[in-house]
Chains A and B, each alone.
Chain A
């Protein structure tokens, strides 16, 4: 046998070692190559030892997963800009459109993966705000807002492990850990000494947190407030504990402040808390435009009928009913608001603000809270809302 066979003999020896044979046993199989094989098999043992104790740390795996999913979500979102261009369009138009889109899409995609602290992060937030404004359907906007909330939390998880402290803002449901600490969206919160922990901070309620991300993945909280969502629209159905306004269903309880005798068809403004499980709980509901009493459908009428009768339509009926006349005489700013809201993430005032998610509303959560009861968290908890609906039944 020549030395040319050594690579194959070595492989056979390695296989025997893997099967549990000792080095000496293996060498006895190839006495003519013992001198060459021994140092190689010893080197193989060292090479194998290098791979010991290399199990993946779970924290690193979770961070990697979060980063990957965040990147995928961003790319999924950026495909919003992809248009089917297989139609027969002249090359000149295609090139012109392509150049315009290249600028827009390129920058948008480049910013899609930006994390807090990155130069393009501001552009990413601006892109999100623009998309939020372009989404006319209220329920779809709330869903979009939730997806951005999840995105913010995933960004914070992706950033954990960085050595430098990074300023972050994110929203998520509060949870109490067995050790007595708080987390929001699963991210541990560090509350500085003397930080005001309000009674309304209860497990399950969404909060908006601003603070600095620490190297251990926790966030040193600087500001924290309840995550509130405000939207306006026509009442579509009224139940004992569940209402639908502008296609958005939400819960009410005895702590929900209802101003005015709301009926199906009324234009109302709702401010709601977001709770874990993608549930909205109304804190306040204000009637800003009532329908004509004679034309209003009976309370708790099936919402589909109410929706068809009340919701502004792009193709109005040729003969106006009294109810439609009421709509037509509304102020111009209300025209078509239900389907084409013009609200932004910034707080807008009054009944005409169709939708807003307000980190700092003009009427702050604290003010709202103080006007009611200091033990809101407890009272929010258990009481059904029969009294509220009884008023409307009259």
Chain B
């Protein structure tokens, strides 16, 4: 049962308590037209909740995937991803936010936050992984062997430089092209190729070292 009054069913959207002839703007404005990313960003700069929601929901999976790739099953992934969007609000408020390439800005911010977090936790994490303790978040479907293997790869991955981790996350978690990756990282395509090559070579070397231990 719902409250009724005067014979009218009161539903969401009823707005009857406003002054006569003084319509209040709707609580939410629906944008039926397709805005360009620049238009959406411009509206987000005005803190339009619809634009902010559109941006958040469009890019949250992208940022989360990146953070998760860098951090593994660490529960802090959600906090870091949420912090990226809070930083966006702060930046837009101070008019220092992204002008055009929002994705590059978000992933760049995510990269900085992950780096900061890893810097603080690095030694603790390495010693933790050296003990071969499984991550708490491993799914039960993972076979023991596969889980152990992923753990070894995770351990080796975290021993890479932050730039190497960044390029592998963009290429293998986000599956961005060489050009997109170069744009996001602010490097030339040639530099990204070389960085990727060195990252995979280092990953391979670290894995071999672990297998010999």
B153, A247: Cβ atoms under 8 Å? no
Asked whether any CB of chain A lies closer than 8 Å to the CB of B100, the reply is no
Query: Which chain A residues lie closer than 8 Å to B194 at the CB level?
Result: 7
Asked whether any CB of chain A lies closer than 8 Å to the CB of B107, the reply is no
- For B37-73 the 0/1 string (1 means CB < 8 A from A) is 0000000000101001100110011001100110010
A241, B193: Cβ atoms under 8 Å? no
Asked whether any CB of chain A lies closer than 8 Å to the CB of B86, the reply is yes
Asked whether any CB of chain A lies closer than 8 Å to the CB of B27, the reply is yes
Q: How far apart sit A64 and B197, CA to CA, in the bound complex (Å)?
A: 35
A241, B8: Cβ atoms under 8 Å? yes
Q: How far in angstroms is the closest Cβ of chain B from A24?
A: 18
Asked whether any CB of chain B lies closer than 8 Å to the CB of A68, the reply is yes
CB < 8 Å neighbour of B200 from A47, A54, A67, A303: A47
A382, B7: Cβ atoms under 8 Å? yes
Question: B158-203: which have CB < 8 Å to A?
Answer: 168-169, 171-173, 175, 178, 190, 193-194, 196-197, 199-201, 203
A56, B200: Cβ atoms under 8 Å? no
A54, B17: Cβ atoms under 8 Å? no
CB < 8 Å neighbour of B5 from A7, A42, A76, A380: A380
Also in contact, A60 and B10, with CB within 8 A (given A72-B47, A242-B16, A279-B17): no
Also in contact, A67 and B14, with CB within 8 A (given A56-B65, A249-B19): no
Question: B1-24: which have CB < 8 Å to A?
Answer: 1-8, 10-22, 24
- Size class of the contact patch on chain A: 35 or more
B57, A241: Cβ atoms under 8 Å? no
Q: How far in angstroms is the closest Cβ of chain B from A283?
A: 11
Asked whether any CB of chain B lies closer than 8 Å to the CB of A152, the reply is no
B78, A57: Cβ atoms under 8 Å? yes
CB < 8 Å neighbour of A8 from B7, B90, B172, B193: B193
Asked whether any CB of chain B lies closer than 8 Å to the CB of A99, the reply is no
Q: How far apart sit A277 and B7, CA to CA, in the bound complex (Å)?
A: 16
A202, B3: Cβ atoms under 8 Å? yes
Q: How far in angstroms is the closest Cβ of chain B from A198?
A: 14
Asked whether any CB of chain A lies closer than 8 Å to the CB of B132, the reply is no
Question: A137-152: which have CB < 8 Å to B?
Answer: 139, 142-143
Query: Which chain B residues lie closer than 8 Å to A49 at the CB level?
Result: 150, 153
Asked whether any CB of chain B lies closer than 8 Å to the CB of A105, the reply is no
B78, A44: Cβ atoms under 8 Å? no
- For B111-143 the 0/1 string (1 means CB < 8 A from A) is 000000000000000000000000000010000
- For A250-275 the 0/1 string (1 means CB < 8 A from B) is 11110000000000000000000101
Query: Which chain A residues lie closer than 8 Å to B56 at the CB level?
Result: 61, 64-65, 68
A277, B207: Cβ atoms under 8 Å? no
CB < 8 Å neighbour of B64 from A47, A54, A63, A273: A54
- Size class of the contact patch on chain B: 35 or more
Asked whether any CB of chain B lies closer than 8 Å to the CB of A166, the reply is no
- For A31-70 the 0/1 string (1 means CB < 8 A from B) is 0000000011011101111110111110011011101110
Q: How far apart sit A250 and B128, CA to CA, in the bound complex (Å)?
A: 63
Q: How far in angstroms is the closest Cβ of chain B from A68?
A: 4
CB-CB nearest in chain A for B168: A47
A202, B19: Cβ atoms under 8 Å? no
Asked whether any CB of chain A lies closer than 8 Å to the CB of B102, the reply is no
B17, A280: Cβ atoms under 8 Å? yes
A384, B193: Cβ atoms under 8 Å? no
CB < 8 Å neighbour of B14 from A113, A279, A380: A279
Asked whether any CB of chain A lies closer than 8 Å to the CB of B81, the reply is yes
B193, A277: Cβ atoms under 8 Å? no
B20, A303: Cβ atoms under 8 Å? yes
Asked whether any CB of chain B lies closer than 8 Å to the CB of A372, the reply is no
Asked whether any CB of chain B lies closer than 8 Å to the CB of A6, the reply is yes
Asked whether any CB of chain A lies closer than 8 Å to the CB of B110, the reply is no
Asked whether any CB of chain A lies closer than 8 Å to the CB of B104, the reply is no
Q: How far apart sit A242 and B5, CA to CA, in the bound complex (Å)?
A: 9
B200, A44: Cβ atoms under 8 Å? yes
A50, B197: Cβ atoms under 8 Å? no
Also in contact, A56 and B64, with CB within 8 A (given A46-B203, A49-B153, A69-B52): yes
Closest 6 A/B residue pairs (Cβ): A241-B6, A247-B19, A51-B173, A64-B82, A7-B197, A251-B5
Pull 13 A–B residue pairs with CB atoms less than 8 Å apart, ordered by A: A10-B193, A56-B65, A60-B78, A65-B57, A68-B56, A72-B52, A73-B49, A139-B19, A202-B1, A242-B6, A252-B6, A279-B15, A384-B7
Interface residues of A (CB under 8 A from B): 6-8, 10-11, 14, 18, 39-40, 42-44, 46-51, 53-57, 60-61, 63-65, 67-69, 71-73, 75-76, 113, 139, 142-143, 161, 202-205, 236-237, 240-242, 244, 247-253, 273, 275-281, 303-304, 307, 377-378, 380-385
